[in-house]
Amino acid sequence: MPLTRKAYRAAILHSIADPAEVGIEASYEYFEDGLLVVDNGQISALGHASELLASLPADIEITHYQDALITPGFIDTHIHLPQTGMVGAYGEQLLDWLNTYTFPCESQFADQAHAEEVAGIFIKELLRNGTTTALVFGSVHPQSVNAFFEAAEKLDLRMIAGKVMMDRNAPDYLTDTAESSYLESKALIERWHGKGRLHYAVTPRFAPTSTPEQLTLAGQLLSEYPDLYMQTHISENLQEVEWVKELFPKRKGYLDVYDHYQLLGERSVFAHGVHLCDDECARLAQTGSAVAFCPTSNLFLGSGLFNLPMAEKHKLNVGLGTDVGGGTSFSLLQTLNEAYKVMQLQGARLSPFKSLYLATLGGARALRLEERIGTLQPGTDADFLVLDYNATPLLSYRLKQSKSIAETLFVLMTLGDDRTVAQTYAAGNLVHQR
């Protein structure tokens, strides 16, 4: 295959470590006039344009983006494909919201044509917002996951998804059985896990909608295949936490239910965790599990404020989740805008570099994919974004006042959204252009 080599010139910024561990200054690299070189879908060099240009052949194709910032693609560690059509459902908190809006909306995915239509809309929306990798809940129907992976494969995206397992406490039209969920998940794993850049996640919806038999089989799937992911919800809402205690009276608490069924581990991602206690954070960290922080959802559903400093204290891996449709935006920039306010309400700060980390390398580490995505290090996949400083008149005017990359980054996260993402590249291919 002939070598396809391209270079991109712009301001370039990426996280290289967690600011909580190394301090802010050592957590990022910034090139005011940078060059990113891409060979066959992978990054082959990154540096100052003045230094790198001399080492490249004179005829190399260079795309120069003015007034723009190149960053790694964003990573959404928690989102629901079949809730694309119900963002902004009025008036309820978690359990009533599920029964009133979510389950009826997800039931439409029994229809293959509907699943394909929404998968297309969903992937376009991810890319428009600069999300190049997501950990995705399908519906209970395998066709929701097949439709998603088929669309993601065509664009050579790095994506993770799974069919919801749910065999109780939901309408009959939306439940599987322990056995059917096992067999359907297995068939999806055999078809998709490890194909190109696709990975499978075993997906019990949350403890209340699975019988002990189903949770046992979820654990069994994880033991049968290497490197499978596990995604579920935990401790999002106080009524939910109480319900789990009633349903599983022998367990010490919510996390212990999942622990008992061997669902914790290095590729396990628990969404929300708003009401986790100290011991539960410690156990999550000890098992290498990760939590998805979902601020727009936690505010919209009135769930509560995620305690990021507690997670940091335990060195728990945390990624960022939009949680669409409980969340109100596909944009990780807007998600960071809300994350900042969640920290403010707890008397804490969220620095722009910690925010960048959460949306990129932090998410990659939560997914154990930091060797492939989340930074612009040579040798990783060329999944990157071009953020436009002139995306809106206000952003343009505001950024002209900026005195540092820290200020620019923070303003991008406060005023930015899908309009800010001018180009999205995945595996070196242009997959979205505004």
The footprint of Zn ion (CB under 5 A) covers: 271, 323
How many CB atoms are located within 10 Å of the residue 37 CB? 21
Name the binder of 236 from ligand GUN, Zn ion, none, CB < 5-8 A by kind.
ligand GUN
The SS3 call for residue 248 is: coil
Name the binder of 199 from ligand GUN, Zn ion, none, CB < 5-8 A by kind.
none
Nearer CB in complex with ligand GUN: 323/381: 323
Nearer CB in complex with Zn ion: 176/323: 323
Quote the Cα angle for 123-354-88, to 5°.
40
Distance between CA atoms of 191 and 146, rounded to whole angstroms? 9
Distance between CA atoms of 15 and 376, rounded to whole angstroms? 9
Distance between CA atoms of 295 and 265, rounded to whole angstroms? 24
Nearer CB in complex with ligand GUN: 236/280: 236
Least distance from ligand GUN to the Cβ atom of residue 75, Å? 18
Name the binder of 372 from Zn ion, ligand GUN, none, CB < 5-8 A by kind.
none
Half-sphere exposure of 277 (CA within 13 A, CB side): 8
* φ and ψ at residue 5, rounded to 5 degrees: -120, 130
Nearer CB in complex with ligand GUN: 323/383: 323
Name the binder of 283 from Zn ion, ligand GUN, none, CB < 5-8 A by kind.
none
Least distance from ligand GUN to the Cβ atom of residue 240, Å? 7
* φ and ψ at residue 46, rounded to 5 degrees: -145, 135
Least distance from Zn ion to the Cβ atom of residue 222, Å? 20
Nearer CB in complex with Zn ion: 280/323: 323
The position carrying tokens 């540096």 is 47
- The maximal CA–CA distance of the chain, rounded, in angstroms, is 70
Least distance from Zn ion to the Cβ atom of residue 99, Å? 15
DSSP labels for 264-314? -STTEEEEE-TT--HHHHHHHHHTT-EEEE-HHHHHHTT-----HHHHHHT
Residues that bind ligand GUN (CB under 6 A): 80, 94, 98, 102, 205-206, 233, 236, 297, 323, 326
Least distance from ligand GUN to the Cβ atom of residue 297, Å? 5
Residue 381 per-residue DSSP state:
B
Nearer CB in complex with ligand GUN: 71/203: 203
Least distance from ligand GUN to the Cβ atom of residue 138, Å? 11
Nearest position to ligand GUN, beta carbon? 326
Nearest position to Zn ion, beta carbon? 323
